[in-house]
Amino acid sequence: MKRSAFLKSTVLLSTCTLGTTLLAKGVRRKTTALPNPTDLEPKIIRNEEGKKVNVIGDEMTFKLTGKDTNNQFTLIEEHNEPGVMIPLHVHTNEDEIFKVLEGELELTVGGNTTVLKAGDLAFGPRNVPHSWKVIGTTKARVILSVFPSGIEHMFEDLGQLPPGPPDLEKVGAICGKYGVSFV
């Protein structure tokens, strides 16, 4: 028997034996319940569909929200003109993935700045400062995936602010309520 096959079978046997022993002693492993697949409804979202929200100049379309995903994640499409940006900030509750579909996005995450082009993506973990800005001469279309969901509520609240220059005190208060702060 090859060494790798031996190690795999030994680990599997040990794990099964340990699990059986613990169950016999009444010890239960803590598990995180995953949503029952039958609790989620399949959805088809067409290109032009979704809830549109202008978040202080950031044009968003909510494609999937926590309501659709049993609070597992939120999926947002952003379609913004050059110059639109979000300053350096930190999320304490969620991780984000930025996937550029069109245009260019200058992204800073964890102190590193790079330019993302169509097909590129970046991961922004919670508690790591990040910012972004649409650069170049064309609009950028970006898919923002957020894990877990919930941030869409902050974006809805920000979208209710009156048009014009933002009241930074109100913006900070709304963001703070959702565990987001500006650096």
Residues 48-73 have a mean pLDDT of 97
Tokens of 150: 């919930």
* pLDDT, tens digit, 9 for 90 and up, residues 114-140: 999 999 999 999 999 999 999 999 999
* Confidence band for 35, pLDDT divided at 50, 70 and 90: low
Residue 130 falls inside a structural domain:
yes
Asked if pLDDT for residue 13 goes beyond 70, the answer is no
150, part of any domain? yes
The structure tokens listed for 160 are 């209710």
- 65-116: per-residue pLDDT in tens? 999 999 999 999 999 999 999 999 999 999 999 999 999 999 999 999 999 9
What residues are paired with 60 via a beta bridge?
53, 78
Q: Is there a domain that residue 23 lies in?
A: no
The verdict on residue 106 lying in a domain is: yes
Query: What pLDDT score was predicted for residue 164?
Result: 86
* pLDDT-based confidence at residue 15 (cuts at 50, 70, 90): very low
Domain membership of residue 162 (yes or no) is: yes
Q: Give buried/exposed letters for 34-47 (b at 16+ CB in 10 A, else e).
A: eeeeeeeeeeeeee
Q: Would you say residue 142 lies in a domain? A: yes
| Number of separate domains in the chain | 1
Amino acid at 14: S
Token readout for 63 is 């494609």
Per the domain annotation, does 21 fall within a domain? no
CATH number of the domain residue 110 falls in:
2.60.120.10
Whether residue 75 contacts residue 151, with contact meaning beta carbons closer than 8 Å, is answered with: no
Instruction: Tell me the residue range of the domain where 166 lies.
Output: 46-182
Q: Is residue 73 part of a domain?
A: yes
Which tokens go with 114? Answer: 């790079």
